[in-house]
């Protein structure tokens, strides 16, 4: 079979890898000048750093197995994570049950209640029972309004903005259930995985392997449309490689890994019921400022910000888990937000965001001074976070679109887990298998 693939992120590359591994021809077209999508990298201090922070949980077996298949298993390190929670003007340890018991902003009874219900969620496998209720309603009813306002509401507001009170409890269940799976058996502390050559090395190696297996990978390659014949079957792609005129290339099947709002621009005449599932999905963008400092900012790798007076929801100090020597001794801090593309935050440039953020860094570390900053970088990722509302499973578009031989694989279809590199790899390989089975059956 000949398969055209739109997108050179985790899902598209994983699909192409699986197809070429089975002897089929796969051709990947990526609009950006690099591979990896949301896990792509850029150079900092002589090393490669992700544009958006990335790590693996122990439960992320699809990505872990792929890294080993590519011969990069010796690069994958499993390291202890240091998690904190910023509230009431201070950083609280927030990684173990004992940390929870020491969290004084809640009463002892509230802490015990939170611990018991968190344990119950960790042991619950039936995510469907949470589909019809919002996280706000479930948490308020089971934990109490004060615990919800202290712990969860600031986090949901930071993650989902104006949609915070519409998020399904299934989404939060997934965060709690799967995160605990990242703790090795018998251990209280979380361990996270990171390929020491960066995720960029993984995706570059994946692209090389696709080519070695007989496929093709193009960067800076634009796809203008999906060609569909009069019988309602996808027949190819109109593509434009860098410096070349547009041309139509024929394929037996097409896999699109674009966000849904991009997919609708590439394909005409989708049936209304399928189109509704695509146009009604809402996304937030990720906005990040990355600082390189001459010293550490905090003692934590992952710091959740539960104070909405701070203009960022997360502070991830990459070099509190990864050796700064990989980046020329620089200490790397991500300041992250999720926002609508129409928001003022999204529209601001790097210098404006930096000026907004700097005064608040002294709340994290009173000794911080802007002279610590060596460089800063600004990245925006559109379509970073789908809004997961109640009964979300009923609104997920099928991978097999109504147009024959055309398949969709994007983050809106990852459920009940949250979107992530691991699940994109799993989905890409699964859709590739689907294409092969359909081709054989046809």
pLDDT at 88 over 60: yes
Beta strand residue intervals within 125-274, DSSP E: 191-195, 216-218, 222-228, 234-240, 247-250, 253-256
Query: Same structural domain for residues 25 and 56?
Result: yes
Quickly state the pLDDT bin for 418 (edges 50, 70, 90): confident
Cα-to-chain-centroid distance, residue 36:
12
Over residues 58-72, mean pLDDT:
95
Task: State the virtual CA torsion across 387, 389, 391, 395 in degrees, nearest 10.
Answer: -30
In a domain, 162, yes or no: yes
Q: 91-113 pLDDT, tens per residue?
A: 999 888 888 889 999 999 999 99
Over residues 260-281, mean pLDDT:
94
Query: Same structural domain for residues 403 and 433?
Result: yes
Query: Same structural domain for residues 123 and 257?
Result: no
Q: 333-364 pLDDT, tens per residue?
A: 999 999 988 999 999 999 999 999 999 999 99
Query: Same structural domain for residues 111 and 240?
Result: no
Query: Same structural domain for residues 273 and 125?
Result: no
Cβ atoms < 10 Å from Cβ of 367: 8
Domain with 413, as residue range(s), is 2-62+197-279+395-441
The pLDDT of residue 188: 58
Among residues 13, 27, 138, the alpha carbon closest in space to that of 421 is found at 13
In a domain, 83, yes or no: no
Q: 14-29 pLDDT, tens per residue?
A: 999 999 999 999 999 9
User: Which of 180, 215, 233 is at the close of a domain?
Assistant: 180
Q: 293-325 pLDDT, tens per residue?
A: 999 999 999 999 998 889 999 999 999 999 999
Give the strand pairing for 253-256 and 406-408: parallel
For residues 207 and 35, the answer to whether their CB atoms sit within 8 Å is yes
Query: Same structural domain for residues 264 and 412?
Result: yes
Over residues 227-235, mean pLDDT:
94
Query: Same structural domain for residues 54 and 118?
Result: no
For residues 3 and 251, the answer to whether their CB atoms sit within 8 Å is yes
Query: Same structural domain for residues 145 and 275?
Result: no
pLDDT at 187 over 90: no
Over residues 369-379, mean pLDDT:
97
In a domain, 42, yes or no: yes
In a domain, 208, yes or no: yes
pTM: 0.93
User: Which of 180, 214, 231 is at the close of a domain?
Assistant: 180
Query: Same structural domain for residues 14 and 158?
Result: no
Query: Same structural domain for residues 57 and 204?
Result: yes
The pLDDT of residue 185: 52
User: Which of 137, 152, 180 is at the close of a domain?
Assistant: 180
Quickly state the pLDDT bin for 180 (edges 50, 70, 90): low
In a domain, 356, yes or no: no
pLDDT at 245 over 60: yes
In a domain, 321, yes or no: no
Query: Same structural domain for residues 248 and 115?
Result: no
pLDDT at 440 over 80: no
In a domain, 300, yes or no: no
Q: What CATH number has the domain bearing residue 435?
A: 3.50.50.60
Among residues 85, 38, 54, 52, the alpha carbon closest in space to that of 310 is found at 85
Query: Same structural domain for residues 35 and 100?
Result: no
In a domain, 210, yes or no: yes
Domain count, the chain: 2
| Alpha-helical segments (H) within 144-269 | 145-147, 153-160, 169-180, 199-212, 260-266
Question: What gap in Å lies between CA 383 and CA 107, rounded to an integer?
Answer: 39
């Amino acid at each position: 079979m000949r398969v055209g693939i739109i997108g050179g992120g985790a899902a598209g590359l994983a699909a192409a890898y699986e197809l070429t591994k089975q002897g089929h021809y796969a051709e990947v077209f990526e609009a950006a000048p690099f591979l990896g999508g949301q896990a792509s990298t850029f150079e900092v201090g002589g090393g490669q750093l992700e544009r958006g922070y990335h790590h693996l949980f122990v439960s992320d077996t699809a990505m872990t197995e792929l890294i080993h298949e590519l011969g990069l298993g010796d690069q994958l390190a499993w390291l202890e994570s240091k998690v904190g929670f910023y509230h009431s003007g201070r950083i609280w340890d927030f990684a173990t049950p004992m940390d929870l018991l020491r969290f004084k902003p809640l009463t002892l009874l509230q802490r015990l209640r939170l611990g018991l219900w968190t344990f119950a969620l960790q042991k619950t496998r039936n995510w469907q029972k949470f589909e019809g209720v919002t996280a706000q309603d479930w948490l308020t009813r089971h934990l109490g309004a004060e615990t919800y306002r202290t712990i969860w509401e600031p986090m949901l507001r930071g993650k989902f903005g104006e949609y915070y009170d519409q998020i399904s409890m299934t989404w939060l269940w997934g965060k709690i259930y799967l995160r605990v799976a990242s703790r090795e058996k018998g251990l209280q502390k979380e361990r996270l995985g990171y390929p020491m050559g960066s995720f960029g090395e993984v995706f570059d190696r994946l692209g090389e392997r696709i080519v070695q297996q007989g496929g093709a990978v193009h960067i800076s390659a634009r796809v203008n449309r999906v060609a569909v014949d009069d019988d309602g079957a996808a027949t190819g792609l109109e593509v434009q490689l860098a410096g070349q005129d547009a041309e139509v290339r024929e394929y037996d099947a097409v896999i699109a890994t674009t966000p849904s709002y991009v997919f609708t621009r590439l394909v005409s005449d989708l049936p209304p019921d399928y189109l509704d599932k695509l146009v009604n999905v809402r996304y937030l963008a990720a906005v990040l400022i990355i600082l390189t400092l001459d010293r550490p900012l905090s003692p934590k790798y992952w710091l959740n910000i539960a104070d909405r007076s701070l203009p960022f929801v997360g502070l991830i100090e990459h070099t509190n888990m990864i050796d700064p020597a990989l980046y020329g001794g620089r200490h790397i801090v991500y300041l992250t937000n999720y926002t609508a593309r129409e928001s003022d935050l999204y529209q601001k440039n790097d210098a404006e965001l930096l000026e907004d953020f700097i005064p608040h860094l002294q709340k994290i570390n009173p000794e911080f001074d802007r002279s610590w900053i060596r460089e800063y970088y600004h990245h925006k990722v559109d379509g970073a976070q789908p809004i997961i509302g109640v009964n979300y499973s009923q609104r997920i578009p099928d991978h097999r679109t109504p147009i024959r031989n055309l398949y969709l694989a994007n983050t809106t279809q990852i459920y009940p887990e949250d979107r992530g590199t691991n699940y994109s790899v799993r989905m890409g390989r699964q859709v590739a298998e689907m294409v092969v089975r359909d081709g054989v059956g046809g």
